[in-house]
Structure formats: structure tokens, C-alpha cells
Amino acid sequence: MPAMTAGTSVVVIAGGTGGARFLRGVREHLRAADPGTPTDDRVTAVVNTGDDITLFGLRICPDLDTVMYTLGGGIHEDQGWGRADETFHVKEELAAYKMRPDWFGLGDRDTATHLVRTQMLDAGYPLSEVTAALCARWAPGVRVLPMSDERVETHVVVDEGDGEHAVHFQEWWLRMRAQVPARRFVSVGADGARPGPGVVEALAEADVVLIAPSNPVVSVGTVLAVPGLRDALVASPARVVGVSPIVGGAPVRGMADACLDAVGVETSAVGVAGLYGARGHGGLLDGWVVDTADADSVAAVEALGIPCRAVPAMMRDVPTATALARDVLALAGELREA
Ligand code: FO1
């Protein structure tokens, strides 16, 4: 298959854990295929900030941090979020003071990141510059761009029996474990948000745009809901290829099924492909990659007008994520040739 390497500029739309692991695979594949060319300005991650939350006066950006730690070598690998070798003394002390909330795993090492970010934001630096400053330490090897410098927070409307009320996404995700059905998701601040610096330019200059196997509703959906961002993606000359976050009818991790249920989309590789839509029919996708477990779904995806491949898509470690990235970029290359 035609190599998608030399000079290829790749934009990856990403959320947290799945997005970060996939990004690491993309970086590793491009490094292996073209060792002489740094990946820093060839791979651009456009990262969801809708999960961001302010707790105890600190601004916390879970998906930006997960990408930064995963590609920078600081991630708690099995957990998929937070730092390796973490301790929770601050969290324990806050609990001793009966501080709420107590459902957020605030780590001590992680808290330093939130302190730097909060101090810089309070000094007037935009989130994109804060992220660049934090990445100077972690050297992720890709450009990490917030989807927007304006604050956009995902809140979840639930009804626990006493009428509808909204909770922050993190409370729904961590305290409620997404077990209370979401009536709808609200991107608070989205209307006044613009794509972050570099985002529209990266999409306009991309050879390939990859939609990572992240939560299609609250991660990818939130990124695409930033006014102007989806249009920039659709207008891009790049081939757009997505990777299904659903394997065998279930999310690989996390609770994307609870999110898909809330928006009335079937939790399947075909359902998510249909949610994103075929580029030729007003959607996003030029191609869709599903796991081999869903090989029997390829025909149904192609019936949507989306070329589809079934490849090993479970990212168990860096080599499997790198192989997935290779397969996805190979499909993008074929589509570009076609
Ligand atoms: N996920 C959890 O399942 N439990 C936690 O206690 C938790 C804490 C946490 C702290 C910092 C951070 O950057 C991420 C954290 N996450 C935690 C992940 C986060 O809650 C969500 O999984 C992401 O926002 C989803 O993409």
C-alpha cells in the first residue's frame, strides 16, 4: 500500500485515553517510517477541552493532560489517565477537611500541572500557550492544540426523579459512573467559542485527518461542535479517516455506550460511522476502520458510502497502536490514490 509518510502532515482529532494511545501510535509509525524527519510539526493533535473542570480553584484539563502525559512518558499506563508513581496526599487532606467533591482523583504530581496551568491562565495566557508551555517539559513529539482557547464545558442534563438538572460531565462520569441516563449534553460556552490558534490552518494544510477512537459524543462531538471547526475539517483537502471506538458492540474502554444511547445512536462500529457520516453525503468520513471483530460490519459501513477496512484495532501497547496507525494511514493513502 502506498506509504503515507514522507512529508505527510497529519491532524488527529482526539479525546482522552483512546485518543492519546492512538496519537502515540501515529507518532511512532511516522518516526519508524521516516526517522530523519521530526514529527513535532507533522502531527497535530486537536484535543477536546469539554471535559475541563475547575476544582479547588484549579483548572484541570483531563484530555490535554492525558495526551501530554501519554506521549511524554508520564502517564499511568494501565489507568489511562493521571501520572505514573502518583500519590494522593492532597486529596486525602482535602477529605480530612470534609472538602467536596471527593469523587475526583486529584493526584499530587498532577496537581503541579494544574497549578502551573491555573497560574498562567490567571496571568492572562490563553490555554493554547499554557499547553505549549507544559508540553515544553513533556516533549510529546506532536503539536498539542486545544480545540479552543475559550472555555467550553460539557454538562449533562439528568433527571434523578425530581426533575431535570445539569451536572458537570466529570460528576456524571466519575460520581454517577454514567449510570444515571443523560437526557442531553450541553456544551456550555460553545456558541462563543472559536477554533484554537493553529487549528483551522492545520486542517487546511493536512494531507490526512484522523478521527481517533475517542468518545464520539462527548470527545469528538464536542470538538466538532466548536463553531467553524467542523466546516474547516469538511473543507480540508485531506482524506478523513476515522477509527471505531466501539468493538463488538461495546466501547473499548469508558462509557461511550451511555453517551451514544443519550443521542439515540446504536453502540456499534456501524452506528458511529453513521453518526459521523460519509463525506460525500454531508458527513465527515472518507474512510472508516473497524476492528477485525467487526469484519462482518464492513459491508454495512460501505453501504453508507464510506470505504471501510477491518484491521486489528485493539491498542494493547505501543506496538499494537503503531500497527493500527500504519493500517489507518495506509487506507488514507489508498483513498488519496483513488
Ligand atoms: N478518571 C476516572 O475514572 N477516575 C478519576 O478519579 C479520574 C481523575 C482524573 C484526574 C485528572 C485527569 O486528567 C483525568 C482524570 N480521570 C479520571 C479521567 C477523566 O475523568 C475522564 O476519564 C476523561 O475526562 C474522559 O476523557
What value does the mean pLDDT take over residues 307-311?
A: 98
Q: State which amino acid sits at residue 66.
A: T
Model confidence band, residue 4 (pLDDT cutoffs 50, 70, 90): low
What value does the mean pLDDT take over residues 106-121?
A: 98
Nine-digit cell at 138? 513533556
The position carrying cell 456501524 is 270
pLDDT of residue 41: 87
CB 198 within 8 A of CB 189: no
Q: Residue 173: CB within 6 Å of ligand 1?
A: yes
Q: Write the CA distances from 146 to 14, 45, 93, 170, 316, integer angstroms.
A: 10, 8, 32, 18, 26
What value does the mean pLDDT take over residues 104-114?
A: 98
Model confidence band, residue 337 (pLDDT cutoffs 50, 70, 90): confident
pLDDT tens sequence across 233-270:
999 999 999 999 999 999 998 899 999 999 999 999 99
pLDDT of residue 6: 58
Q: Residue 16: CB within 6 Å of ligand 1?
A: yes
Cα–Cα distance for residue pair 338/334, rounded to 1 Å: 6
pLDDT of residue 102: 96
What value does the mean pLDDT take over residues 108-135?
A: 98
pLDDT of residue 216: 98
Nine-digit cell at 333? 493513502
The percentage of residues in the chain with a pLDDT greater than 70, rounded to a whole number, is 98
Nine-digit cell at 104? 475526583
pLDDT of residue 2: 46
pLDDT tens sequence across 184-216:
999 999 999 999 999 999 999 999 999 999 999
Q: State which amino acid sits at residue 303.
A: A
pLDDT of residue 80: 96
**More confident: 1 or 148:** 148
Mean pLDDT of the chain: 96
Q: Residue 65: CB within 6 Å of ligand 1?
A: yes
Model confidence band, residue 58 (pLDDT cutoffs 50, 70, 90): very high
pTM listed for this prediction: 0.97
Q: Is the pLDDT of residue 49 over 80?
A: yes
CB 113 within 8 A of CB 63: no
Measure 330 CA to ligand 1 centroid, in angstroms.
Answer: 32
Name the nearest CA neighbour of 304 among 222, 242, 252, 213.
Answer: 242
Q: Residue 62: CB within 6 Å of ligand 1?
A: yes
Measure 277 CA to ligand 1 centroid, in angstroms.
Answer: 29
